[in-house]
Amino acid sequence: MAAVHGQNAEEKSSPRAVDRTVHLGVRWGVIAICALAFALRVIALGSKSVFADEAASIRFAKLDWLSFWHLIWHSEANMALYYVLLRFWVRLGDGPAAVRFLSVLPGVATVPVIYLLGKELFSPRSGLIAGLLFAVNGFHVAYSQAARGYSLVVLLVTLSSYFFVQAIKSPPRASRVAALYLLTSAASLYAHLFAGFVLGAQCVALAFSRFTRAQLPRQSARMLLVVLLSCPLLLFTARKGSSPLAWVQHPTAMDVYHFVTYLTGSGLKLLLYAAAFFLALAEWRRRIRDAGMSWPFVFVACWLVLPIFCTLAISHWVPVFSPRFLLICLPASVLLGSEGLAEIPRPGMRTVTTGLLIVSSLLSLKSYYHQPGIEDWKGATEYLVGRLGRQDAIGFTSAYTLAPFEYYVQHSGTVLESRNFIVGPRIAHATASSRTRSPERIWVMLCDEPDHAEIVLPPASSYVRQQTAHFRGVEVVEFVRGGSC
């Protein structure tokens, strides 16, 4: 009997039993981090007002198929995959929380992929820290609560990168990995064209990888096939040029700084991330001495820096730098930072430093939940509908600003006659050319317009400005006919 107990004790203390215990602990750790990520992304999910981009997404999703594909091909191909998914998703409901939940799912699903990628590139400890930093990142939480495709493209580029790393480590005939790489890489481009920068980082990392002479042509062929699969998107880009990004402004040094704080956080978080990056750089230099061990750092560094550098360089001629487009850099940021944190030699110091980052990130999220939305179209619509006369007209500078107004009018159950809508920047000319009697009042809804001079009614129109109601990101301006004043 004593021998049996001794044998059981020996089995429990064996390396295999210890490995099983560690593996089980890591698995539950990843599950806990995913649960945390889910909770942070569903808190107050429907509380913020739908902003114009979200309303446009919902409007696109509700078009008939012929109009939908016409719109995709002529103006909205850049986020086509998300719009297709949203077409089916809105059948479950089109309320703010319902449509935003489609972004929550890929946001949470990215966490275990981040862990697996960190484990493959560096270590299980680095993967766990990366997953935790990603789960509490406020930049990602915000766009996981938006009815747009940004969380989807982050998931897809992370999956593409994971299968890229798997292809390096797998046998040359790993057809399953190759197929998954092709699928996720091509899908990421249809989720957002900026995913191409991550695929470019993969190309740079090839030169530092452990591909054999037999593997390198195969991986190069896979990347070429991804380009061929994305030909319709490339044709759209060649045809439209930068016109879909006409609203993007030339970036300033402050814009770049703000983007860096989106990736890492400001204040203490920025300092801690800087220290973590420094430690990761030191580990990189150490591994350079080992043949074939530096490519993971090269890949992650290129993933982080290449999209930023390229967009800033292109913006010298055509502005394309926008923080939301560069959300694709976030996985690389947390991977590099987590490797630096994992290399802190003292466990106590490592735990304290990581804990400070997590707690400060959670405190920032608390303030984010209490902030109003990007644009308060709900409040502006309720204000206007409550004051709108039967013969009044409503002016919108474009169909883009009309979409969120129509969304909230429909959800309120109010019926408005479409003939009372004037869409276009020159509202005065549209009013003057109308065959019907000029309305007594015109309400103009503005959404972060850079120049109000184009849409303000001139004196010749016989309308005078009465009052302006201000909402976050939205203004409601009232004009009354001169004879009525």
Distance between CA atoms of residues 38 and 21, nearest Å: 26
Element at 479 (helix H, strand E): strand 474-481
The answer to whether 422 and 394 have CB atoms below 8 angstroms apart is yes
| Percent share of the chain, pLDDT over 90 | 49
| pLDDT above 60: residue 417 | yes
Q: Which residues of 336-349 are buried (b: 16+ CB within 10 A; e: fewer)?
A: bbbbbbbbbeeeee
Between 170 and 444, the more confident residue is 444
pLDDT of residue 393: 84
- What pTM was computed for the model? 0.89
Mean local confidence (pLDDT), 368-383: 90
Cβ-in-10-Å burial (0-12, 13-18, 19+) of 324 comes to: middle
Those residues with Cβ within 8 angstroms of residue 423's Cβ, 6 or more apart along the chain or in another chain: 395, 396, 398, 399, 402
pLDDT digits (tens, 9 = 90+) for 305-343: 999 999 999 998 889 999 999 999 999 999 999 999 998
- Report the Cα–Cα distance between both ends of the chain, in Å, rounded: 103
Distance between CA atoms of residues 276 and 250, nearest Å: 31
